[in-house]
Structure 1
Amino acid sequence: MNKPKKFIPVMLMPFQENLSIDYEALEKLIELYLKAGAKGLFANCLSSEMFDLSKDEMLESIDFIIKKVHGRVPVVATGTFDEPLERQAEFIRKVYDLGVDSVIVITGLMATEDQSNEEFEQNVLQLLNLTKEIPLGFYECPVPYKRLIAPEFLGKLSELGRVKYHKDTSLDLDHINRKLANTVDNAQFGLFDAYMVHAVDSLLAGSAGLSCIQGNYFPELIVWLCNHYDDVHKQEAVNEVQDFLRTQMEVMHYAYPTAAKYYLQQGGFPIALHTRRMDIEELDEQTKTKLDQLSLNYQDLKMRLQI
């Protein structure tokens, strides 16, 4: 519980006008995260529009990130997609060979929505067997559907010594507490919370850190919270940051990830608004006005708290 908490950003993917990956912007984005104080990077995730990338693009972009990071922080990246387990295991090997710290498994692709937890767990264990010694992590991605890992099963996985990272999206602090209770004896394992409504409580309960989309708007604020969540001299400021994250939740999720790209762009960061996702809301003028107000609210908070 007393270990330093880490911010692991879910990386955006910049695109050029022709929707090819903008590697110049991606390199600058890496440096933005690291300058803010991120202690790792989650590449090829939902924020990276991974379901709209080809496998070659996934491997190429992960390789680019690994080389540009050059060992400064660990990098994790998704390596499972909607394929038979044997094919998933093959791609996991390709991702791992690039030099990632752990390969992330999407829980919603380990069983169909109508399959039981027993079938899900059986498939996970089979994938572990197929991938031998490769360190893995688990991500309760909301796409194609959200499949939560039972706390007891996560505990069994952590005991194997190969599962290092878990991105929790349960939105349920009690569920998180039970996961933490079942993994407390594994010093190599870390649960990272995605839900900022209870960020402080999650950190106090023993989570390893935060891995949230809010870090694509103001990564330095999430780092600040990881550093000061339990500082008795800053509790008023901590509470104010928690309230800010809670009350601004809706505007940051609407039209995401385009909204985050707009927010960064308005702040002077060289990223275009292009996206391959066709299933998100339109970034209309009303949404832009709300994001502009979010920026003003954050600048006020940042100035008052000297962040």
Structure 2
Amino acid sequence: MQIRTSIEGIVPVMLTPFDASGAIDYAGLERLIEWYIEKGSDALFAVAQSSEMQFLSLDERRALGRFVVEKVAGRIPVVVSGHISDDLDAQAEELNVAAKTGAQGIVLVTNHLDPKREGTAAFTANLERLLARLPADMPLGLYECPAPYRRLLSDDELKRCIDTGRFIMLKDVSCDLDTVKRRVALAKGSPLKVLNANAAIARDAMKAGSAGFNGVFTNFHPDLYKWLREHDAGKTAQDPTLADELATFLVLSAVSEALGYPALAKIYHQRIGTFDSIRCRVIDYDVRERFWALDAVLDKIVAGTEQFRERIAALSAHA
């Protein structure tokens, strides 16, 4: 079987906007899709943890994935997860629902392949049972989702997945550059692309062969990550000082993920007119009450983002 789909570059993990009643805000979602594409995203990862997938019903996951695929309309690839169950039958059902959305790939969450933390034998057995129940021609991905626990793949487990020929991406949550390098080497020559999700090592990981970036701050400035990737690949006008300063800014900005994400990202999108509400299902507290001066932090991220966009535009204009 020849898998032709490729997921690489800057791949946002999509937010899910909710209205004041808690229902999915599809008008806001459509605006978000257009924003991602306008900002140069290379693909989209829908119904992920950033989408609050653990708090969506199966019908909502189905509708959300299908809506994203329909509105993207083939402009960039879309992968969909919604893999939240431990029971094998439930997993097969929800992943087949994802496959029917029309997405270019569906993404398996590693911790649900070993829910009792039993190790490689359990992981492999569950993987094989699940693969047998999924469409053989559907490209697959792997996601080391931190919830309910971060289940990193061993080298042997990753190699088993690669050897099936069915996997096209790994959302790497190792947060370790040496691990990323080792995985890139393991995947060489295969359809699988390693996408680092940790902002602290994003630049170094891409230089080391990671096929792109798949972290949460693609919800603030995917275009800045894209410019940095293309700069380091020699595809844009060169300014090493600008690139170094931007890389530092991106790392420091991403530290604010701990301040109530994804509500933090929704506040940003409310500011720019994408969302009407910052309602979350995963967060049941007032983020501004818990994280003092949250808006002041966001002010600096927004200001820095715009300053770097202006500097990049000026550099491009004089190239």
The TM-score normalised by the length of structure 2 is 0.89
- Counterpart code for 1:206: G
Look up the match of 1:62. 65
Structure 1 position 18, deviation (Å)? 0.2
The reply to whether residue 177 of structure 1 matches residue 184 of structure 2 is no
Greater Cα shift, 164-173 or 292-301: 292-301
The reply to whether residue 253 of structure 1 matches residue 258 of structure 2 is yes
Cα 1:139/1:280, change in 2 over 3 Å: farther
Q: For residues 156 and 4 of structure 1, what CA distance do their matches in structure 2 show?
A: 20
- Out of 210, 213, 218, the residue aligned to residue 210 of structure 1 is 213
Look up the match of 2:3. none
Q: For residues 276 and 83 of structure 2, what CA distance do their matches in structure 1 show?
A: 28
Secondary structure at 2:288's aligned position in 1?
A: coil
Contact 1:13 1:48 in 2 (8 A): yes
Cα 1:280/1:159, change in 2 over 3 Å: farther
Structure 1 position 281, deviation (Å)? 7.2
Q: For residues 72 and 7 of structure 2, what CA distance do their matches in structure 1 show?
A: 21
Look up the match of 1:294. 301
Q: For residues 167 and 306 of structure 1, what CA distance do their matches in structure 2 show?
A: 30
Provide the aligned length of Structure 1 versus Structure 2.
Answer: 304
- Counterpart code for 1:36: K
Deviations, residues 92-143 of structure 1 (Å, cap 9, x unaligned):
1221122111111111111125322332222222222222503211100000
Matches within 5 A, 1:1-307: 6-133=9-136, 134-186=138-190, 188-231=191-234, 233-278=238-283, 282-284=287-289, 285-306=292-313
Structure 1 position 159, deviation (Å)? 2.4
Deviations, residues 264-292 of structure 1 (Å, cap 9, x unaligned):
22234344211111367723351112111
The TM-score normalised by the length of structure 1 is 0.92
Q: For residues 114 and 244 of structure 2, what CA distance do their matches in structure 1 show?
A: 39
Cα 1:276/1:79, change in 2 over 3 Å: closer
Q: For residues 31 and 135 of structure 2, what CA distance do their matches in structure 1 show?
A: 35
Q: For residues 267 and 135 of structure 2, what CA distance do their matches in structure 1 show?
A: 42
Cα 1:281/1:226, change in 2 over 3 Å: farther
CA RMSD in angstroms comes to 2.1
Cα 1:10/1:4, change in 2 over 3 Å: closer
Q: For residues 113 and 280 of structure 1, what CA distance do their matches in structure 2 show?
A: 30
Where structure 2 has 5 or more consecutive residues not aligned to the other structure, the ranges are 1-5, 315-319
Q: For residues 52 and 4 of structure 1, what CA distance do their matches in structure 2 show?
A: 26
Structure 1 position 228, deviation (Å)? 1.6
Deviations, residues 140-169 of structure 1 (Å, cap 9, x unaligned):
000000000112321231222111111001
Cα 1:129/1:54, change in 2 over 3 Å: same
Cα 1:252/1:298, change in 2 over 3 Å: farther
Deviations, residues 44-82 of structure 1 (Å, cap 9, x unaligned):
001111111110001011111111111111111114222
- Counterpart code for 2:55: D
Q: For residues 83 and 148 of structure 1, what CA distance do their matches in structure 2 show?
A: 17
Greater Cα shift, 8-17 or 124-133: 124-133
Greater Cα shift, 104-113 or 47-56: 104-113
Cα 1:146/1:280, change in 2 over 3 Å: farther
Structure 1 position 219, deviation (Å)? 1.9
Structure 1 position 252, deviation (Å)? 3.4
Q: For residues 281 and 227 of structure 1, what CA distance do their matches in structure 2 show?
A: 38
Q: For residues 276 and 17 of structure 2, what CA distance do their matches in structure 1 show?
A: 6
